[in-house]
Amino acid sequence: MDGTGIPFVKGVAGAALEAIKIAKAIEMKRRIYFHEVLAELGIIEKRSQKWRAVLYHLDNGEKLKGCSNKLHWAMGEFQVTSKVNTCLKGLERQKELRSGQVKIQEAQQELREGQIKLDENIKDGQTKIEGTIDRNHAKIEESHSKIEEGTKRAVMRFKMVCWVCGKQLRTRAPEVRSPGSLKHSLLAIDTSKSNQRCSILSTVMPPDPKIFGRREYIERAVELLFLTPGARIAILGPGGMGKTSAALKVIHDSLVVERFGENRCWIPCEQATSAPLFVELVAKSLNLPLSSSSDRLAEIIAFLKSSKVLYILLFDNLEAPWDIEGQQSNVAGVLTAIGFIPSVSFIITMRGNQHPSSHTIE
């Protein structure tokens, strides 16, 4: 092979290489075009699917209309139901408001009642406090009265001790002022026929009575009996005013009991329908035995003079024998004879305002 054929080969080879390049480019473009066509076909397929769906829905348009109508009806019902529910809720709220108002009114009523009860309790408390204060004041006053009474009684006991010792109080002389007149009065009373009548008479001391008032008079009488030997006390006034009760209150007083002991005698003079019975009542109150002596008064005088103890005699309702016609002088003689004995004290209760002092009774 000569050298003239080499360039030809090179040209053919170059042309072949160019043809190959062109073929490759054409193949590449074909492939690109093919892919583009596939892409366009995919898009067309998708669009066709959409159109099929649209056609499907168009075929079912009547159904869609029915559903739309039902939806509209349901929405209307829902709106109506919502309004009804709203109204019902409003009514329930109104009921709740009314119930709340009723409860508020009830609470206000309870508050008013509580305020009324509180005011009543406050008034009751104030009343109780005032009552307690008044009772305490009364107790304090009563305590003061008891202290004063105890002080008075202590002073009287001290004076009594002084009297017993003979240092302060005087005693009366036992002599009678007029023996002749006393003998005359004794002889005027015949007691020989009074023993049988006296067996039915009672001289039992009545109990201590419960009385109100007259405290000062009773204390004064007790003081006289406690401090004065041979004291004479007359309680006068109309019937029913409490003379006997006052006299019994005095004779039952603790100081009187302390001084006279069991020698306190009650003489119910309303049982004495005559002077002899009056004398026999005195004897029976002194627990003297029955006697047939015609001079019963002399026995009484002798007994009292010989006794070494103190006696107190309560002549209750003395007006009974005193008002008997023709007996005043005899009753006065008995009182005069007993009045001369210094160890004997006596109390007289008598209706009226005139005591028998004008008949030589001291």
Chain segment 184-216, per-residue pLDDT in tens = 334 345 554 544 444 445 678 889 888 887 788
* pLDDT tens, residue by residue, 171-190: 443 333 333 333 333 434 55
Q: At what angle do helices 328-339 and 296-306 cross, to 10 degrees?
A: 20
Task: Give me the residues of the chain with pLDDT under 50, please.
Answer: 1-2, 164, 166-188, 192, 194-200, 358-362
Question: Rounded to two decimals, what is the model's pTM?
Answer: 0.50
Q: Are 319 and 352 a contacting pair, CB within 8 Å?
A: yes
CA dist 159 and 312 (Å) reads 19
Residue-level pLDDT at 174 = 38
Residue-level pLDDT at 39 = 82
Closest to 279 in 3D by CA, of 336, 334, 213:
334
Residue-level pLDDT at 266 = 93
* pLDDT tens, residue by residue, 15-70: 888 888 888 888 888 788 778 878 877 787 777 777 777 667 656 666 666 666 77
Tokens read off for 266: 């009650």
Hey, how many other C-beta atoms are within 10 angstroms of the C-beta on 266?
21
Residue-level pLDDT at 265 = 93
Sorted by sequence, the CB contacts under 8 Å of residue 313 that are 6+ apart come out as 265, 267, 282, 285, 338, 344, 345, 346, 347
- The region, left, alpha or beta by phi > 0 then psi within -120 to 50, assigned to residue 179 is alpha
